[in-house]
């Protein structure tokens, strides 16, 4: 996929500079190829979008701007581009319903939290990738549902998945997500070369396995998950294969 184009629009320069900086930090952290354009005048942004409907893939819009309210700006953008991913930034979260009326994926509050921005950027980037290259998106992400919300999880960031009664808990490298699905169905969505059962209630990402002990698998971040005798031979073999591959690469 080509470079992801992101626009940030806020009439207060300090806020648009701050969110642009956070997006650039996200790009470096997630190894994402993206570029950010900054706007303090919403009229300039809509003029650019009307001139080039594919100018941006993701747009962050402040709700409360004197020249043009964020909701009205979003409606104007939607008239020429139904696919661009829109996210609102606001100090007044009572606009939630209007935000979803224009197809926004959500909003982040001022003052900005990098953790919240990272979550919404991951979702926005996933939606962009699905639009451009669905096959590549399905290799990179797994989509899960929790109620009415859909989350796109980067499979590279999954440590392990745990069954909890009628739901599954995804333990990521920096967060957790719940979906109401069986572990068997989740396993079918994951690459079985990378994700393996260690126990009837656990699936581990072999990339994060640090050691295979008697009855547990040791993962990164000092995490241990149960391992049953049934799955131990396959886990051990995959782990040894991975270690052998790392050693071979170190000699090249």
Domain 4-132 has CATH 3.40.50.2300: yes
Per-residue pLDDT tens over the stretch 1-39: 578 999 999 999 999 999 999 999 999 988 889 999 999
pTM > 0.85: yes or no: no
pLDDT at 252 (0 to 100): 52
In this structure, which topology does domain 138-250 adopt according to CATH? OB fold (Dihydrolipoamide Acetyltransferase, E2P) (2.40.50)
Q: Where in the chain is the domain with CATH 2.40.50.1020?
A: 138-250
CA distances 234 to 29, 36, 56, 128, 212, Å, are 33, 45, 46, 36, 11
Q: Where in the chain is the domain with CATH 3.40.50.2300?
A: 4-132
CA distances 94 to 18, 27, 101, 109, 247, Å, are 23, 30, 13, 11, 55
């Amino acid at each position: 996929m080509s470079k992801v184009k992101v626009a940030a629009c806020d009439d207060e320069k300090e806020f648009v500079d701050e969110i642009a900086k956070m997006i650039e930090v996200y790009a470096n952290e997630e190894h994402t190829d993206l570029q950010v354009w900054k706007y303090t005048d919403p009229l300039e942004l809509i003029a650019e979008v009307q001139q080039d409907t594919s100018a941006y893939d993701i747009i962050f819009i402040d709700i409360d701007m004197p020249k043009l309210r964020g909701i009205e700006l979003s409606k104007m953008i939607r008239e020429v581009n139904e696919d661009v991913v829109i996210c609102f930034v606001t100090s007044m979260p009572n606009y939630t319903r209007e935000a979803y009326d224009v197809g926004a994926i959500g909003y982040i509050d001022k003052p900005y939290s990098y953790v919240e921005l990272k979550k919404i950027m991951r979702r926005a980037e996933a939606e962009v990738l699905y639009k451009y290259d669905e096959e590549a998106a399905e290799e990179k992400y797994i989509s899960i549902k929790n109620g009415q919300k859909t989350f796109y999880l980067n499979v590279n960031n999954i440590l392990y998945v745990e069954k909890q009664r009628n739901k599954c808990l995804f333990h990521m490298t920096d967060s957790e997500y719940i979906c109401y699905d069986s572990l068997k169905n989740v396993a079918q969505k994951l690459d079985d070369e990378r994700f393996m059962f260690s126990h009837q209630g656990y699936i581990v990402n072999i990339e994060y396995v640090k050691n295979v002990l008697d009855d547990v698998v040791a993962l990164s971040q000092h995490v241990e998950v149960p391992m049953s005798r049934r799955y131990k031979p396959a886990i051990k073999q995959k782990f040894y294969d991975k270690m052998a591959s790392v050693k071979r690469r170190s000699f090249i």
